[in-house]
Chain A
Amino acid sequence: MVSEKAITKKDVEHVALLARLALTEEEKERFTKQLGKILEHAGKIKEIDTSKVPPTSHIVPLDNVFREDKAGECLSQEEALSNAPEKEEGAFLVPKIV
C-alpha cells in the first residue's frame, strides 16, 4: 500500500533495517529523495480509473497447476554444500544470529 504522504527518512531507515542494509547519513538523504520520486511516478497510476479492474497478481492466464506427488532425485550433500562459504558436519555454517 503506497501511503499518500511523502516518504520520510524514517521510512528509509525502517526499510533499510528490514533489508539488513547499513546506510550512511548521506545515503539515507539521497534515497529518501529518490524513493520519493519513484513513488510519485508510480502514483500516476492512481489517475486511471481501476474500480472495474480486478487485482492482478499474475499475468499468465493459468490456475490450478499441480505437480504429481512423486519423489525424485536430490543433490548429494557435497553438491548441496558446494556453494557454502562455510560448512561443518554436513550443514551450512551461518554466523551468530542474535
Chain B
Amino acid sequence: MIFPPPLREGGLRGRVDYIPKESYEAVIGLEIHVELNTESKMFCACPVSFGEKPNTQVCPVCLGHPGVLPVLNGKAVEYATLIGLSLNCEVTEFCQFHRKNYFYPDMPKDYQISQYDLPLCVEGYLEVGEEKGVSRIRITRVHMEEDTGKLIHIGGSGRIHGADYSLVDFNRAGVPLIEIVSEPDIRSPEEARMFMQKLRSIILTLGVSDCNMEEGSMRCDANVSIRPVGQKEFGTKTEVKNINSFRSVQRALQHELDRHIDTIDSGDRVVQETRHWDDAGGVTTSLRSKEEAHDYRYFPEPDLVPLISDKPKVERMKKALPELPDARRVRLMEQYGLPKHDANVISLSKATGDFFEEVMETYEDARKVSNWILVELGALLNQANLEIDECAVTPRHLIDLLKLMDKGTISGKMAKDIFKESFDTGKLSSVIVEDKGLVQLTDEDAIGKIVEQVLAENPKAIEDYKGGQERVVGFLVGQVMRLTQGKASPDAVNRLLKSKLNNK
C-alpha cells in the first residue's frame, strides 16, 4: 500500500492538493555540442587531433597572442550547413560571429568566438519515436563556435572546488564546434535519449563528427522543468551539465525530474540554477557560481567578416545530402521487407545499418540477419557495453555463421554458442567449428540409435504420445540433444522420433 505524502501548503503554484507523479509532465530542451572532424581548427591551421601532448597543437592564433587574426575554415562552415540542412533548418541569409566575453582560463583570449543573434541555421526539426507515435522536436538554431581548452584541476580530488591550482591545455581550443539547440519540446527522458540517438546517427551519416560522448566530441546540456499536465506555463528550470555518456542521458534527466517533483511535493520551490551530473553517484549537485548573473556582453567579432548565404550552393548541398536515418528506415522496410521495429532499430544507428546492409550484400534472408543482429548480437553488445562497430564480430563473421547453419554443419543451438565465442575471440565460426570438431551430427543411423535409446529409457513418454499428448516430442528431442551435446541436427531428430513413435 502506498500512502500519498501529507498535504502541504505552498506547493506548485499555490495548489495544496497532492499531485501524483504521473500527472506531472516533463519539459526538456537540449543543447548539444558537436566537434567537427575537419583537418584544421576553426580559425587557424592547427590540426584537429586528439591524444597529443598538451599544448603541441597550438599557434599564436588559438593561443590568443596579440595582433593575430582569425580566418574562417570554409570546410567547417560547409559541415555546419550540412548539419543544419539535415535537421530541416533554414540557412540564414546573413550570418555573423560574436565575441562571448567571460573570464575563465579555458580561453586564452578571455572571449570565445561564437554566434549570437545571427546564427548559421535556424528553425528546423527532428522527429523521434517512430514506434509509439512520432514527436516532432523543433530545433531553434544551429550555430558555430570555437571549442575551449581543457582544464585539469590539481588537488581537491580533481574538482574545481577545493583545487589548489589548475593546468591548461589549449590543444582543443579553437576546434570547430557546432551548437544545436532544441526547443523545450521533449517530454520524457526516453524521448531525450531518442533525440540524442537520432541526432548522432544523422551526424555520423554526414560524416562530419565522431560524436563520441565519452571522448567529448559530443556533449549534452539539458534544460529541465516540470509542470502539471495541461498547464501551459513552464515551471522553473534547471540546467544539467556534464552528461558525458550516452547511457547517462536518460538516467541524469530522470533523476533531475524526480528531484523537481520531490522538491515541489514537499512544498519547496525549484531554484533556477546550473547543476552538475555526477555519473558515479547518480545525482545532480548545485554548481553555485560566484559570478553574477551571466553577462557575456556579446558584440560582433570585428576580426571576421559576415557570411552571406550562397543560395544556389545551399540548394545543391540540400539535394546532395546522403540518405538519413528516417529515409533508411523506410527503405529497409521496402527493400528487405523488414518489420517496422527491426527497421527502426537498425536505421537508428549508422553502424548497425551499415553492418546489416553489408551482410545483405552476400546473404539473402533479411529477417534472419536482422534477428541475429538485434537479438543475439544485441544481447552480447549490451553485456559487454560495446557498440556494434567496436566489437570483434564483423559482417563476415555473421555471414560465415549463417552459411554454416544453412549447410546443416551446425545447429541453431550450436550457432549461438559459436557466435558467443566469435564475439569473445574474433575467430570466424568456421575456424571455431574446425578447431573443436564441432560438426553437427547428421548421420541418420547414428542419430537413430540414440533416438532408440531415449525411447527405451522413457516408456511413459511413448504412452503419453499414444494417448494424444504430442507435447512429449519436445521433451524427447531435448533428451536426444542432451545425449549428443547439442550436435544432432534438430530436423533429423524430429523426423526420426516421430516416425519411430508412430511405429511403436
Contacts and interface: CB of A to CB of B under 8 A. Distances in A.
Interface of A: 14, 17-18, 20, 57-58, 60, 62-77, 80-81, 88-98
A97 B63 contact: no
B40 A97 contact: no
B167 A88 contact: yes
Residue picked from B54, B152, B163, B170, most chain A C-beta under 10 Å: B54
B72 A77 contact: no
Given A69-B74, A98-B161, A63 B60 contact: no
B306 interface: yes
Given A63-B305, A67-B74, 8 more contacts: A57-B306, A67-B73, A68-B75, A69-B40, A70-B39, A72-B40, A96-B165, A97-B151
Interface in B203-261: none
Contact of A74 (B46, B300, B304, B307): B46
30 contacts: A20-B103, A58-B305, A62-B305, A63-B308, A64-B305, A67-B45, A67-B73, A67-B74, A71-B45, A72-B45, A72-B59, A73-B59, A74-B47, A74-B59, A77-B53, A80-B63, A88-B154, A88-B167, A90-B55, A90-B56, A91-B167, A92-B167, A92-B170, A93-B165, A93-B166, A94-B166, A94-B167, A96-B163, A96-B166, A97-B151
A71 B39 contact: yes
Contact of B76 (A58, A69, A91, A97): A69
Lowest 9 A-B CB distances belong to which pairs?
A66-B74, A72-B45, A69-B75, A57-B300, A91-B167, A71-B47, A67-B71, A92-B168, A90-B54
Nearest to A54: B94
Residue picked from A57, A68, A70, most chain B C-beta under 10 Å: A57
Interface stretch (B129-137, B289-297, B455-463): B289-297
B443 interface: no
Residue picked from B58, B72, B153, B302, most chain A C-beta under 10 Å: B58
A91 B55 contact: yes
A90 B161 contact: no
A60 B304 CA distance: 10
Interface string B282-314: 000000001010010100101011111010000
Contacts of B163: 96-97
A71 B306 contact: no
Interface in B33-49: 38-40, 43, 45-48
A91 B75 CA distance: 30
B386 interface: no
Interface in B329-361: none
A46 B74 CA distance: 38
Given A17-B292, A57-B300, A66-B73, A77 B306 contact: no
A60 B302 CA distance: 10
Contact of B55 (A14, A66, A71, A92): A92
A29 to B, nearest CB: 21
Given A74-B46, A74-B47, A64 B307 contact: yes
Contacts of B370: none
Contacts of A77: 53-56
B165 A98 contact: no
B53 A90 contact: yes
A97 B104 contact: yes
A69 B38 contact: yes
B164 to A, nearest CB: 6
Contact of B290 (A65, A67, A72, A98): A98
B270 interface: no
B380 interface: no
B74 A68 contact: yes
A94 B110 CA distance: 14
Residue picked from A70, A73, A98, most chain B C-beta under 10 Å: A98
Nearest to A59: B302
Interface string B52-85: 0111111110010000000111111100000000
A94 B59 CA distance: 19
A89 B169 CA distance: 10
Contacts of A70: 39-40, 45
B96 interface: yes
Contact of B105 (A14, A72, A76, A97): A97
Contacts of B392: none
A74 B302 contact: no
Contact of B60 (A58, A75, A76, A94): A75
